[in-house]
Amino acid sequence: MEEIDIKDFLTYLKKYILPMFLLALLAVGGSIFYNLRIKKPLYKTSTTVVLAQSNSTTSQATLNDININQKLVATYSEIVKSKRVLEQTINNLSLDTTADALSKHVSVTDIEDTEILKISVEDENRELAAIIANNIAEVFTAEIKNIYQLENVSTLDLAQTPEKQSNNTTIRDAAIAAFVAVFGVIAIAFIVYYFDDSVKYSEDLEKKINLPISGKIIKSDIDRKSTDSELLVNCYPKSIISESIKALRTNLQFSSVDDGFKTILVTSANPGEGKSFISSNLAVSFAQAGKKTLLVDCDLRKGRLHRLFNLPNLNGFSNLLTDDIANYKKYVKKTDIKNLDVIPRGVYPPNPSELLASKKNKELIKALRNKYDIIIFDGAPCNGVTDSVIMSTNVDETLIVASDNSTPKATLDAARESLQKVNAHITGVVMNNVNRKSARYYGYYGEK
């Protein structure tokens, strides 16, 4: 994989902002609902016990006793949570629980550099929590006096009934939930971005694909709302897509201002990337500019220009290549669009590649060049078949259509390499379905 471009990733991440916000909102809401409606509230209270020898007669002896007692703190803690102490507490208070279960709600800590133990109890019943804590301290004191003969053992502070819930972590849990949701989405987006090899429109895309960008066709659903036709340049001449096609037409004209061109092959790396949409609308655009234009469907396998223009397909390009090319006029179909003629695909032949590679095809193209200002060939996808690779050697320019965020870079590279091997003149790549924001195309032209 290529190095991660942070700027590109942040741009890519923008489309995850809404899911990120919704997931964070859902996570926070779920966390709050759990804390307020499902989680049982607990109340925690503590009592302290001080331990000291009463038979010390000197200050030195008292210090020794203190040191000994401090070392015994771990032992005292275990005694507090022992079954003997807890079971006696259960019996004293007639609790409906076991020593093991009660032990989970009891904690013991020592106050550093002192002989004081802090016994804490957590329970759903705030009053019961204080009663249990004080009773444990009482039982523990009795056990210590019995085991260690410590007479000077007493409760320092009695446990009080707690006022606030001890396990109220609503704000903290909500913050954690939001954090996990946001960074979870970012992590998923990063993984998808890292392994996504599709071509994405950007300012430095030409460097990444080693091909010039001849045009970007802006994606706009509004252009398709009121018509079933894909000839948007004809139906909506002032729409965003129409302006994009016209910009492509202008770029092509200026790119060959010295050499000039008459024949253009439009192909793609894979099916479904919009080459027929681009070629047909580009042909309409040239016709609207006053150019006598011919659109030829040379995708002899799955061409669909006859459906786009509502034309019969019984006699088309494949039939013409098996006929006398002098009879080409009977295969040319007039359209409702001024200056635009179409030769549909024709019947599906058993040998498409051989027909396209034939001498007759070359002679036909030469003959048609003398009759039209611009001839656009809608070719087959490059990967999988050699039809467009063959056709590229017979035309002046070749355009490769790629779909933004869809066409894998590897397949685009493969298409470019196959065309370059036969010395095809690749004008560039047309990026189709480009998002308006990523293309920085902020202007809008209203419908007709």
- Kindly report, residue by residue over 104-117, the tens digit of the pLDDT: 999 998 887 777 88
Start-to-end Cα distance in the chain: 45
What is the distance of C-alpha 425 from the center of its chain?
36
C-alpha–C-alpha distance, residues 196 and 184, integer Å: 18
If DSSP codes are grouped into helix, strand and coil, which group holds residue 151?
coil
What pLDDT is stored for residue 45 in this prediction?
95
Q: Which residues of the chain have pLDDT under 70?
A: 1-5, 52-72, 150, 221-228, 256-260, 437-448
Q: Could you tell me the two tokens for 245? A: 């096609």
Query: With contact defined as beta carbons under 8 Å apart, do 409 and 199 qualify?
Result: yes
- The type of residue at 22 is L
- Relative to beta strand 152-157, strand 43-52 is antiparallel
Backbone phi and psi for residue 430, each to the nearest 5 degrees, phi listed first: -105, 115
Per-residue CA distances from 372 to 226, 338, 346, 361 (Å): 33, 13, 21, 16
Specify the pLDDT at position 1: 46
Token reading at 149: 């003969």
The pLDDT score that the predictor gives to residue 2 is 54
Structure tokens at 128: 């019961």
Domains, the chain: 6-38+168-193 (no CATH), 43-157 (3.30.70.1130), 199-434 (3.40.50.300)
Residues shown for the chain: 448
Q: Which residue has the tokens 């002899």?
A: 300
pLDDT value for 373: 94
Cα angle for residues 339, 296, 249 (degrees, 5° grid): 60
Residue that is written with structure tokens 């091909």 in the block = 211
- Rounded Cα–Cα distance for residues 40 and 165 (Å): 10
> In the prediction, which pLDDT does 53 show?
53
273 three-state secondary structure: coil
pLDDT of residue 31: 93
- The span from the CA of 338 to the CA of 191, in Å, is 50
> Are the C-beta atoms of 281 and 233 separated by less than 8 Å?
yes
Residue type, position 19, single letter = P
Give the per-residue pLDDT at 77.
Answer: 82
Distances (CA, A) of 420 to 207, 210, 359, 385, 426: 17, 12, 21, 15, 8
- Check: CB of residue 345 under 8 Å from CB of residue 317: yes
Q: What pLDDT does 146 receive?
A: 84
Indicate the SS3 state at residue 46: strand
Q: Hey, which residues does 265 pair with through a beta bridge?
A: 377, 398
Tens digits of residue pLDDT in 217-256: 988 765 554 456 788 888 888 888 899 999 999 999 887 6
CB 401 within 8 A of CB 432: yes
